């Protein structure tokens, strides 16, 4: 296997590639874990799977999988108030 190259073979130019696991994703706010090599939609989602300082299976901490062109993106479930409720309120994610 070779490393994905941004801008080639369907990989977007703005892709971020993790060399050690050959994952790629897009979005500067993503958090890719160097431990379990899963990609999280935000630092909040990342922090949630690191409960106790070790990687937890994301589904066990309430994160949901979303299928992206690059694979699975783990994120916070959509809040009751819609995605708009996520912005500007950290606690909005905990209410989901």
Instruction: Using CB under 5 A, list all residues that contact Zn ion.
Output: 18, 21, 23, 33, 35-37, 55
Least distance to Zn ion, CB of residue 79, Å: 23
Q: What is the DSSP letter of 54?
A: S
Cβ nearer to Zn ion, comparing 37 with 66: 37
What residues are paired with 65 via a beta bridge?
A: 74
Q: Which residues contact 95 (CB under 8 A, 6 or more apart)?
A: 79, 80
Cβ nearer to Zn ion, comparing 69 with 81: 69
Largest CA distance in the chain: 43
Least distance to Zn ion, CB of residue 19, Å: 8
Cβ nearer to Zn ion, comparing 61 with 96: 61
Distance CA 87, CA 15 (A): 24
Least distance to Zn ion, CB of residue 20, Å: 6
């Amino acid at each position: 296997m070779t490393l994905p190259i941004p801008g080639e073979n369907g990989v977007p130019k703005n892709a971020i590639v993790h060399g050690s696991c050959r994952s790629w994703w897009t979005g500067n706010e993503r958090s890719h874990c160097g431990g379990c090599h899963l990609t999280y939609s935000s630092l909040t989602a990342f922090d949630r799977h690191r409960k106790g300082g070790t990687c937890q299976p994301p589904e066990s901490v309430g994160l949901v999988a979303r299928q992206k062109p690059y694979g699975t993106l783990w994120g916070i479930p959509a809040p009751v108030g819609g995605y708009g409720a996520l912005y500007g309120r950290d606690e909005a994610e905990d209410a989901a």
